Structure 1
């Protein structure tokens, strides 16, 4: 059975993109777990749910939209913040339709990331758990 964890999951196939938000979040007193693929992240959900997941939209294997779809299909309460390097305006609408309120375009600022995470966690009524 999954339990609510006290960490933020960063899911991106590019190591530098996982490292940057991970460092920032650790400085903000969050615990962080990094995943190199959507499949790796989804497999982890059977034992521990993050406070929030930062998920890249475009990855080999499962896309961010597919990861979000799997989370919803399993009825898991994991708020998601999408990140993307794409300028496609339609992604904003698609993210909202997938149930994700926050879409950050790379490169994003530290403040934008922290605000999106705070909003995502708050939308699920969870308290921030530092670590």
Structure 2
């Protein structure tokens, strides 16, 4: 999820081309509201969005005992973020702009570390 439409469109296209089923959300609140039923294999979450931040989304997932691996994305160059992201329980932090390969590698790692398969799980 990302509050910027061009980023959501780009991520959605890339992931569909990689054979993922994708749902795009403009906010953390919208994403969390959608989680009844089947949680996603992985969530790509921008750290800094209006409303709920990426950290707040991760915290609410944990509080609800939803084991959704998170890959954070950010445009920030704050050097302390990697440690903060790992402490929050996320699998990875990608800084914008990142390559398609970096994103796919982070997603595969997040899904694999959660003991799930990336297709049809």
1:14 alignment counterpart: 4
- TM-score relative to the length of structure 2: 0.97
Aligned to 1:5: none
Q: Which has the higher strand share?
A: 1
Determine the C-alpha separation between the residues in 1 that align with 2:25 and 2:49: 12
Large movers: runs of 4+ above 4 Å: none
TM-score (norm 1): 0.89
State the number of aligned residues.
120
CA distance in 2: counterparts of 1:40 and 1:100, whole angstroms: 19
Q: Where do residues 64-79 of structure 1 align in structure 2 (5 Å cutoff)?
A: 64-79=54-69
* 2:108 corresponds to: 118
Query: Which one scores higher on RCO, CA 8 angstroms, separation ≥ 6?
Result: 1
Whole-angstrom CA distance in 2 between matches of 1:56 and 1:45: 18
Identify the match of residue 93 of structure 1 among 56, 77, 83: 83
Q: CA RMSD in A?
A: 0.8
Aligned twin of 1:54: 44
Equivalent-residue separation in structure 2 for 1:127 and 1:97 (angstroms): 25
- Looking at structure 2, the residues matched to 53 and 22 of structure 1 have their Cα atoms a distance apart, in angstroms, of 12
Question: Where does the alignment leave 5 or more consecutive residues of structure 2 unmatched?
Answer: none
- In structure 1, stretches of 5+ residues that fail to align are 1-10
- Between the aligned partners of 1:52 and 1:101, the Cα distance in structure 2 is 10
